[in-house]
Structure 1
Amino acid sequence: MIIKELKNLFLKMPFMTNSFLSKSKNTLQIKLHFLMASILILSCSFSFSQENTRIKNSSEKTNTDILPKTTFEETVILPLQKNQLYFEKVFLHLNKTSYFDDDIIWFKAYVSDIKSKPSNQTSRLHVSLLNGEGKTIQNQNIFINKGVGKGQFVLNDTLKNGTYYLLASTNYMRNFGVDHRFFQEINIINKLVSKESKGKNNYDVQLFPEGGYLLEGAENVIGIKSLLNGKGHDFSGKIINQKNQEIASFKSEHSGMSKCSFFYDLNENYTALIKTNDTLFKVNLPAAQKNGILLNIDNNNSDILKLIIKTNRNTAFKSTYKILFHQRNQIIDYVEIPDLETQNTIFEFDKKNFVEGVNTITLFKDNQPIAERKFYKEDKGKTVNLTIEKDTVENDSISYKIKTDKSLQANLSVSVLPINATNYTETVTIKSAFLLSPFVKGHIENPAYYFKKENQKRNEHLDLLLLTQGWTQFSTKEMITDLNPPYQYDFEAGFKIKGNVFPKPTNQLALMTKDNVIIDKIFLNEKKDFSFNNLLIYKGDHMKISFLKNQNEAIKPENLHVDSVQSSPFFNFNIEKSKTTDSVLHDDLWTELNTSGSIKLDEINITSKNKTYTERKKIIRKYKPLVFDIGKYDNLPIADHFKNKDLMYFLNFDQDTKLVKWNGIETHLETGINKEALLYIDGKYITSNELSSVSLQINEIDNILVQPIRGNKIFQVFTSENYQKDIIELFEEYLVTDGFDREKKYYAPIYDFDENKYSNWLEIDWKPDLVLENSGETYIKIKQNKQLQGYLFSVQGYTQEGSLISEIITIK
């Protein structure tokens, strides 16, 4: 909307007198760019234009002025809008938040754009399980399709008891830094003793002037935050002047946060005295500025946002001040502040013109940012209410109907637990993950609190959280770089397989499955290097690479090298040291709940330390019919440089075991110095007369196991299925080690403990694939447990239009 003269706006207001119009015209030179406004001397009310907004071109003229060469649009608006990056957000819905050491963490991933609509840009999500120090234990690559994906982490008894974390992000999110990754705390139980970790208490007291600084000769608002070992802690305190006179008092209101207001006298200094845990802290308040503008807000009204602009007598309006409304680099609007005739001026804005979630107000002086304040806007029009009611009971199962109050399409996940579940504490929801956390720096303690309707002061406490965010002085260039960073990291649409091959009988190269189905074809164009891109492949898949002639006739490459694929980096995470409870179980309770071997472990490829654990169980189960004591053997890893060699070459150079003849007559295997080795192939002992005729190639072998006995060795070699069926494999197979992790089918764990006595630790069901069609309803069926008092349903999800669904529903 092109700039309009203030006079034209006032003429539309019949309640204003001509004398006021005249005075207003002479003294209030406010420029409205996207806003239509009514302005009063002490109270100004704004409502955003309903027209299609646009930036006014600097070459356009109005009948009030000609824009200078360097305008606010050119310095701030256009750079924020130039090459705007897509903004992604991530949420993981977990089936519960406390797990036994042999449990499985089941989760569903949601990836959205800045408006909370499903993201169609990314197909790969990185999810990590971290220990209490923030070190990565396991990684998962989750396939994201139309904004959702599923996965799981298999736990085992190598994990110590305590606090762990889940971290999730897309590669593209790295453009915006580390603060926007999804982060959630969980508990893993693996210990008899319940105790608190010992350590020195670490206190942290912080002061946050509203807007970013204090001003002499004006009423100031300041936020106070007290942390004990990284978590909010109760406190009380006061502010005193240089004469030790109390001028304001305060006490913690929520999660170690509070605020107070006081008049900052000229040439005065102030100190905050804060008492927490019988410890008194003295913190000097920041020195106040001699002149300037304070930025305060009142967000208590559900429909109107009040913006209070304060100044003092020393401040002369010789500079140009502007207010920018935005959500990161998404510009909502901006307005120029007039030459104020009073030290306190109130602007009122209709909230329907702001976006859902955290909005930011930035104050500019001569196109340089000088103050900032965040506020939250709840969009009631996007609220979706959900109900669950019993539908039918059939044999040992119950059917429940899930219904929303609107006809819409939605993707949901539901965790079903006992009504008195001890293993579930909701601290993160899709609403907190999409509407709050991405727009706030640092860790938020229990963000789900601010979105639970039963918390009557949640809006007040949320504003307190945003007040205590603080603000770091930026130059305009630094601010623009922070909000609209340069493009560095790509969307990931799959995986790559790269390498080189020569000679080239043809220029067409194919990637095939184990069953010789062509996945992808590329044209080499006289190059020896190749790259198959954007592949939907999974860890553990077997691939083949072949040249193709006419009519897809395959030709085996003579010299083929496949690069070791480098995954996009998973990051460790800086965890603030905190004093946490190591176990949520008492000693006597653990004795009865001891779940060693109580939950069935599924088979899955996981990282290093745990991979051996699960693969060993699989190998023992597979080969025990052939070798009764297979559990005494260790699996030998086979390095890549042996893949084109034979068995005897591998034994010689990897195991120091070679064929020798005793007295030139009998052939046997010698290992080390004067020690012997025995060889079994598929459970059959290979005699001395047969050893010299063994010609197995490494690519014909699935596993090689060894059992050392006092320096001697017994080798168990197990051949591939193709070898056993006498099938000659012309093409080498490559095992995919860097691909998507396959989702597993959910199954409820089987417990050894008394389920009736400890029903609050049970896990009933996990439904990650619920879809609401246009009717806004669907059904789920769960196994009936008559011993339970009722069920707890944790429901999370979103609609195609970006409405978020987050409910905890209990049914007795």
Structure 2
Amino acid sequence: MISTSFFCLKCYGQVSPAEKKATKAFQEYFDLQRETLFLHLNKSTYVTGEEIWFKAYIYNKREKLPFEETTNLYVGLYDSIGRQLTKKIFRASKGYADGHIELDSTLNSGNYYIKASTNWMRNFKDDGAYVQNIKIYQQGESISPRISGKSDYDLQFLPEGGRLISGIKNNIGVKCVDIDGYGAKFIKGIVKDSENKLVNIIEPTASGMTSFVLEPKNGLTYSAEITFENGSVKTFPLPLSTDEGYNVNLVDRDSTNLQLTFGRGSTTKLEKAQEDLILWVSKDGLVKKLDIQFAKGEDYSLVTIDKESLFKGMNVLTLLDQHGRPILERLYFNHKTVSSGTIEISDAEILKDSIAITLKGKFDKSKHIQLSISVLPKATMAYDHDQNILSTFLLSPYLKGHIENPSYYFKEVTKSKIKELDVLLLTQGWSKYDWEELYGGPIQIEFPFERGIELFGKIQSEIKSGDKLMVYPFEDFQGSAIALHADSTEFSIKGLFPTKGQAIRLSILDDRGSIKKPKMYLSARSNMVTDRLANIPGEVRPNNWADNNVGTSQPINLFQDDEPVELDEVTVSAEKNKRRFTTPFVFENKLTKVTDKTAKMYPGVLDLLRNNGFSVIISYEPKFDRVQIKSLRNRKYPVIYIDDVRLMDLDRLLYDYPLSRLDSYYISRSGDGESGAAGGVIRIYTKESDQLEDTSAAKTPKDRILVYNTPLGFESVKSYYSPKYGTSGNTFQNFGVVHWVSSMSLRGNESKTFKVPKTDAQGITLFIEGMGKNGTLISTTLTIP
């Protein structure tokens, strides 16, 4: 046998054609960055009348950091057969997003799914979208305990490496499931050959997954006799063995080393005695390589790998032949290099009507973690998520098909649980990577990476030379003045973040300063589409319901039944208030009001600017006059706004603009640190029509401004509020919510205190998920008696 060591990416010697082919394919396939999503839902079981509260975490697997570029997050609710019921856009920032979804009272009881995705994900076959099963019940409906003890079972025998090879040792994974496809425990198992000789014993585990070693002989077949918990005994045939091909046996020797033993069949040993093989170790496009060689006449080749040289978390180990074709694959999860912090409850003080809970971080001081916390009664049966942030980002993206309760492998990790995870990876066989797709060339981009939504318009009003379209400011948009041309009536503004129903105001401003209401077609655009779940994950089994002794059926009466309160009729009257400026750019007390006296002193806006430290030069030209304004201090151009919309081209706009049209103004000769404002900042605010002296010619704001309430926009983020639960009795203990914290920031070993309402719950549990700026992931459950 040949023993070697593997420490780093091979970068010496001649590169084989197989390596070149595989390297090129990986570079092209993984060239584009990809998002992976996790939603921390405050519960998994809801009652109509509640809302689903969530925190979204967006992760860059390759960089192991938050995916900060994502802004448009789509979250939808789907029924039990995958039909979309509703979908909303939530704004993400720096890798995080907060949100909630109201549950329609007309929803029937049953299984539903929450899906989170982005437009960019649609470019990839393995899109990284997050899907989570939830249950919804009608208020007042009865719920029954889970019925367990299924009487039918199935066993799968999965040789490590994919083939059962005659004449050499094979490690065989065993997977036992019940009639619903869930893992099931068996009592004992024995392996016999076709001559009825005992060959090996299969040791049972609680998960129903285990492994055993078999060295099959030519001419014999093998079977396993399994005894189940219900006393039944069944016999299952093992796969037939072959003389061709390769297998692998991975042994996690100790905390430092990993051992791989590659075996080959007798026919392969003769026909491909000198075949050069490559061990291709990869993760998210990152690759390390090692030559695998068999000594002449040997059945095995042994490789010892230092775990420090492997990737953090998942490693996909693929054996390639001399043509770059994959022969076998084995997944290995490297716990040694996965680091995460922990959190503990340092104090819980009971106050008059609340409980003050103090959390303390126990991780490196440089780590800055964002947390979300679901606070539920200790006896809750409403939190049965099969995924947590660790399993979602570190495990599930690499496995094919549905994995039962993947979060189990990251809760209170022990040596026994590490072994269970390795058996899971053994039975999974090939990773989610499709080698045919890898060798298919670069991924074609069909769906762009989104940043906000687009406002598209087509003006139907008559356009004159010098007209500008004024788009007034709203949240995260400072406004815009778009030059119009008679031969180009369409316009588009991208990168907007309006909330749903946001009023967007638009006017046309001519070169004389007059404002009029435009006639136009407007549309808000994004890439949100109605879809259907293609691959519905298995229903999450509520594994703690039986432990809570639900007993017989009980009705879910979660909310208080209050008598309606009759209100006295109230008549309200109020004086019409004068206009007050609420611009986010200038405090109102810094605005200078334009009085009659000011208007007489400085008839035009340009006269006012000349008196406030600016030079004004007017160039008289045949078609129209041009205005040039510069700071006397440094001869640089100021930034000028009208009603918070920046003017990009003055021309005649301010040439004879009367000061009497202004309500107020703000002038900063220093520029207030604004980008490009070395020559200063000038903000001009015009009067409303009812403030103008010539009321006969005055137009109402409705006549001057087009208001477009966008039907497409981002959902507003609101603070959590709790429904009016009836907090006494088993229903609240089992299905109610104490509190939800969407965002808490912890750095290093600092402490943070938050309050939750005091209820009749006999103890409370905190379900915590989190992600740090440096990619640290946290998932933990804490209980207060």
The offset of 1:459, in angstroms, is 0.7
Residues 297 and 527 (structure 1), Cα distance of their counterparts in 2 relative to 1, 3 Å cut: farther
The offset of 1:521, in angstroms, is 5.2
The offset of 1:336, in angstroms, is 0.7
| Partner Cα separation in structure 2 for residue 509 and residue 281 of structure 1 | 79
Aligned to 1:572: 533
Aligned to 2:44: 97
1:250 aligned residue (198, 202, 207):
202
RMSD (Å) for aligned C-alpha atoms: 4.0
2:249 aligned residue (271, 296, 305):
296
Q: Structure 1 residue 173 and structure 2 residue 121: aligned?
A: yes
The answer to whether the Cα contact below 8 Å between 1:501 and 1:528 also exists between their aligned partners in 2 is yes
Aligned to 2:19: 73
The offset of 1:561, in angstroms, is 4.9
Q: Structure 1 residue 376 and structure 2 residue 333: aligned?
A: yes
User: Which SS does the other structure have where 1:212 is aligned?
Assistant: coil
Aligned to 1:344: 300
Aligned to 1:609: none
| Partner Cα separation in structure 2 for residue 112 and residue 473 of structure 1 | 18
| Partner Cα separation in structure 1 for residue 512 and residue 226 of structure 2 | 81
User: Which SS does the other structure have where 1:157 is aligned?
Assistant: coil
| Partner Cα separation in structure 2 for residue 756 and residue 292 of structure 1 | 59
The offset of 1:764, in angstroms, is 1.8
Residues 266 and 415 (structure 1), Cα distance of their counterparts in 2 relative to 1, 3 Å cut: same
**Deviation digits for residues 399-430 of structure 1 (CA, Å, limit 9, x no counterpart):** 33322222121111122223333332353221
| Partner Cα separation in structure 2 for residue 169 and residue 389 of structure 1 | 37
Residues 570 and 551 (structure 1), Cα distance of their counterparts in 2 relative to 1, 3 Å cut: farther
Q: Structure 1 residue 234 and structure 2 residue 185: aligned?
A: yes
The offset of 1:299, in angstroms, is 2.5
The answer to whether the Cα contact below 8 Å between 1:499 and 1:562 also exists between their aligned partners in 2 is yes
Q: Structure 1 residue 85 and structure 2 residue 32: aligned?
A: yes
| Partner Cα separation in structure 1 for residue 479 and residue 236 of structure 2 | 65
Counterpart of 1:735, as a letter, is N
2:714 aligned residue (740, 754, 758):
740
| Partner Cα separation in structure 1 for residue 436 and residue 111 of structure 2 | 40
Q: Structure 1 residue 595 and structure 2 residue 565: aligned?
A: no
| Partner Cα separation in structure 2 for residue 225 and residue 160 of structure 1 | 35
Residues 377 and 594 (structure 1), Cα distance of their counterparts in 2 relative to 1, 3 Å cut: same
1:162 aligned residue (110, 115, 125):
110
Q: Structure 1 residue 429 and structure 2 residue 388: aligned?
A: yes
Residues 481 and 794 (structure 1), Cα distance of their counterparts in 2 relative to 1, 3 Å cut: farther
User: Which SS does the other structure have where 1:763 is aligned?
Assistant: coil
User: Structure 1 vs Structure 2: percent identity of aligned residues?
Assistant: 27
Q: Structure 1 residue 151 and structure 2 residue 99: aligned?
A: yes
Residues 336 and 524 (structure 1), Cα distance of their counterparts in 2 relative to 1, 3 Å cut: farther
User: Which SS does the other structure have where 2:66 is aligned?
Assistant: coil
Aligned to 1:192: 141
1:130 aligned residue (58, 69, 78):
78
| Partner Cα separation in structure 2 for residue 263 and residue 551 of structure 1 | 93
Equivalenced residue count is 636
Q: Structure 1 residue 45 and structure 2 residue 18: aligned?
A: no
1:213 aligned residue (148, 151, 163):
163
| Partner Cα separation in structure 1 for residue 731 and residue 182 of structure 2 | 34
Aligned to 1:796: 769
Q: Structure 1 residue 447 and structure 2 residue 447: aligned?
A: no
Counterpart of 1:460, as a letter, is K
User: Which SS does the other structure have where 1:461 is aligned?
Assistant: helix
| Partner Cα separation in structure 2 for residue 764 and residue 472 of structure 1 | 40
Aligned to 2:215: 263
The answer to whether the Cα contact below 8 Å between 2:133 and 2:540 also exists between their aligned partners in 1 is no
| Partner Cα separation in structure 1 for residue 562 and residue 450 of structure 2 | 35
User: Which SS does the other structure have where 2:143 is aligned?
Assistant: coil
Residues 297 and 489 (structure 1), Cα distance of their counterparts in 2 relative to 1, 3 Å cut: farther
Aligned to 1:325: 281
The answer to whether the Cα contact below 8 Å between 2:2 and 2:293 also exists between their aligned partners in 1 is no
| Partner Cα separation in structure 2 for residue 543 and residue 389 of structure 1 | 48
Residues 260 and 354 (structure 1), Cα distance of their counterparts in 2 relative to 1, 3 Å cut: same
User: Which SS does the other structure have where 1:728 is aligned?
Assistant: helix
Q: Structure 1 residue 305 and structure 2 residue 224: aligned?
A: no
| Partner Cα separation in structure 1 for residue 760 and residue 265 of structure 2 | 69
| Partner Cα separation in structure 1 for residue 524 and residue 337 of structure 2 | 53
User: Which SS does the other structure have where 2:161 is aligned?
Assistant: helix
Could you list the runs of 5+ residues in structure 2 that have no partner in the other structure? Answer: 572-698
TM normalised by structure 2 equals 0.71
| Partner Cα separation in structure 1 for residue 36 and residue 703 of structure 2 | 46
| Partner Cα separation in structure 1 for residue 533 and residue 570 of structure 2 | 43
The offset of 1:538, in angstroms, is 1.7
The answer to whether the Cα contact below 8 Å between 2:293 and 2:301 also exists between their aligned partners in 1 is no
Residues 487 and 304 (structure 1), Cα distance of their counterparts in 2 relative to 1, 3 Å cut: farther
The answer to whether the Cα contact below 8 Å between 2:746 and 2:752 also exists between their aligned partners in 1 is no
Residues 550 and 233 (structure 1), Cα distance of their counterparts in 2 relative to 1, 3 Å cut: farther
The answer to whether the Cα contact below 8 Å between 1:125 and 1:144 also exists between their aligned partners in 2 is yes
| Partner Cα separation in structure 2 for residue 418 and residue 579 of structure 1 | 21
2:359 aligned residue (397, 402, 407):
402
The offset of 1:113, in angstroms, is 0.5
Counterpart of 1:595, as a letter, is L
| Partner Cα separation in structure 2 for residue 412 and residue 795 of structure 1 | 7
**Deviation digits for residues 557-577 of structure 1 (CA, Å, limit 9, x no counterpart):** 334253776524543243367
Aligned to 1:688: none
Counterpart of 1:536, as a letter, is F
**Deviation digits for residues 155-207 of structure 1 (CA, Å, limit 9, x no counterpart):** 24322223322222222223333563222222223253335899x99976544
The offset of 1:361, in angstroms, is 0.2
Residues 578 and 149 (structure 1), Cα distance of their counterparts in 2 relative to 1, 3 Å cut: closer
Aligned to 2:577: none
| Partner Cα separation in structure 1 for residue 713 and residue 561 of structure 2 | 31
The answer to whether the Cα contact below 8 Å between 1:300 and 1:460 also exists between their aligned partners in 2 is no
The answer to whether the Cα contact below 8 Å between 2:121 and 2:127 also exists between their aligned partners in 1 is no
User: Which SS does the other structure have where 2:381 is aligned?
Assistant: coil
Aligned to 2:423: 464
1:500 aligned residue (453, 458, 473):
458
Counterpart of 1:102, as a letter, is G
**Deviation digits for residues 364-420 of structure 1 (CA, Å, limit 9, x no counterpart):** 011211110001012456221222211666543443332222212111112222333
| Partner Cα separation in structure 2 for residue 195 and residue 393 of structure 1 | 35
Residues 281 and 739 (structure 1), Cα distance of their counterparts in 2 relative to 1, 3 Å cut: farther
Residues 246 and 583 (structure 1), Cα distance of their counterparts in 2 relative to 1, 3 Å cut: closer
Aligned to 1:491: 449
**Deviation digits for residues 703-756 of structure 1 (CA, Å, limit 9, x no counterpart):** xxxxxxxxxxxxxxxxxxxxxx98634444333222211122101222135259
User: Which SS does the other structure have where 1:531 is aligned?
Assistant: strand
The offset of 1:513, in angstroms, is 5.8
The answer to whether the Cα contact below 8 Å between 1:270 and 1:285 also exists between their aligned partners in 2 is yes
User: Which SS does the other structure have where 1:232 is aligned?
Assistant: coil
The offset of 1:596, in angstroms, is 5.7
Aligned to 1:412: 371
Aligned to 1:541: 502
TM normalised by structure 1 equals 0.69
Q: Judge which range, 459-468 or 410-419, deviates more.
A: 410-419
1:112 aligned residue (51, 59, 70):
59
The answer to whether the Cα contact below 8 Å between 1:755 and 1:762 also exists between their aligned partners in 2 is no
The offset of 1:126, in angstroms, is 1.6
Residues 788 and 285 (structure 1), Cα distance of their counterparts in 2 relative to 1, 3 Å cut: closer
Aligned to 1:681: none
| Partner Cα separation in structure 2 for residue 582 and residue 163 of structure 1 | 16
Counterpart of 1:233, as a letter, is A
The offset of 1:301, in angstroms, is 2.6
Could you list the runs of 5+ residues in structure 1 that have no partner in the other structure? Answer: 1-40, 57-61, 601-620, 627-724
Residues 135 and 560 (structure 1), Cα distance of their counterparts in 2 relative to 1, 3 Å cut: closer
Counterpart of 1:496, as a letter, is E
**Deviation digits for residues 29-65 of structure 1 (CA, Å, limit 9, x no counterpart):** xxxxxxxxxxxx45433333xxxx6856xxxxx5xxx
